[in-house]
Structure 1
Amino acid sequence: MRFATRVTIQAPAEAVWALLTDAAAYPAWNPTVASVEGTIGPGGKVTVRTAERPGQAFPVRVTAFEAPRRMVWTGGMPLGLFKGERTFTVTPEGNGVVFAMEEVYTGLMAPLITRSIPDLQPDFDRFGQALKAAAEQGA
């Protein structure tokens, strides 16, 4: 199972990156997020609560961090039984950037667990549009 979004943003990469790495500010610009706690940086541990399911915590670790271009959040079950990996990329293009976000689920339990995961594509698209609006407003 895979979800992805891509959007062109007329703002500097650093401005987009600043929004993506400010955990406390996520709810202010992103309607899909209730809270993000922790440190979004190399090796950081982050707990995400979605607006749709604020009572459910999604703990992830920042497993790749290449400011201001790429980061990866990884979460799941021990022993590789189930893994979700969300990759954020910010690629300079013209006077702005192309932002892309992709989440892929893998592991022995993935076929079973992904049956209970709702269609996240609308949330991914809203995430991209909200990031675009926030970054362009601040640019």
Structure 2
Amino acid sequence: MDTPRIEKRIGIRASTDAIWDVISNLRGWNDWNPVETDVEGAIAFGGQMGLTETIEGLAPRKVVARVVEWQPYAQLVWSENRGLWFRAMRYFEIEQLEQPGSCIAANGIVFSGLRGEMYFDRNRTRLRHSVDAIAEAWKAAAEAAEG
């Protein structure tokens, strides 16, 4: 069985700098991200991040996660353990295209563990809408910042 994953890839007409600036400004997430707000913490290996996740149709919840991988202007990945059999890995990736000022950006969630797979199956449509909304909002914020 494939690992349960929800991902949205989107073209953004902005530089990697502008796209990364939107992601790395954690306090600014309230201005553009419709799902993940009140973000606090540090983008650093092992850094802790906290945020409020509001997925339509589900109760808002507080998330406490650890940064497991990051590379400026390329990616941010954090992991959240939600119990014995449930782990969620959240990621943002930026890929520079050949044409300057053009990138492909991806954001998604990978679920693992029995309960993670069950959560994915039960909420697949809600998760899809959330990841899509984040991608569109990230694109709009980065393109506006690029000018």
Output the TM-score relative to the length of structure 1: 0.87
Q: Distance in 2 between matches of 1:68 and 1:132?
A: 15
1:20 is the counterpart of 2:27: no
Match of 2:106 in 1: 100
For residue 117 of structure 1, report the CA deviation from its aligned partner.
3.8
Write out aligned runs for 1:99-118 (5 A).
99-115=105-121, 117=123
In structure 2, relative to structure 1, the CA distance for the partners of 1:120 and 1:98 (3 Å cut) is same
Match of 2:133 in 1: 126
Match of 2:12 among 9, 12, 20: 9
In structure 2, relative to structure 1, the CA distance for the partners of 1:133 and 1:112 (3 Å cut) is closer
Identity fraction in percent: 25
Output the TM-score relative to the length of structure 2: 0.82
Number of equivalent positions? 138
One-letter amino acid of the structure 2 residue matched with residue 102 of structure 1: G
Q: Deviations along 1:80-138, whole A, 9 cap, x unmatched?
A: x2211112110001232110112110114334444554621111111111111111111
Match of 1:85 in 2: 89
Match of 1:71 among 64, 73, 76: 76
Unmatched runs of 5 consecutive residues or more in structure 2: none
Unmatched runs of 5 consecutive residues or more in structure 1: none
8 Å contact 1:73–1:85 — kept in the other structure?
yes
Q: Distance in 1 between matches of 2:44 and 2:25?
A: 10
Match of 1:58 among 50, 63, 78: 63
SS at match of 1:17: helix
For residue 51 of structure 1, report the CA deviation from its aligned partner.
3.6
One-letter amino acid of the structure 2 residue matched with residue 122 of structure 1: H
One-letter amino acid of the structure 2 residue matched with residue 130 of structure 1: A
Q: Deviations along 1:23-47, whole A, 9 cap, x unmatched?
A: 1100111122331111123221111
8 Å contact 1:40–1:62 — kept in the other structure?
yes
Q: Distance in 1 between matches of 2:27 and 2:82?
A: 26
In structure 2, relative to structure 1, the CA distance for the partners of 1:109 and 1:51 (3 Å cut) is closer
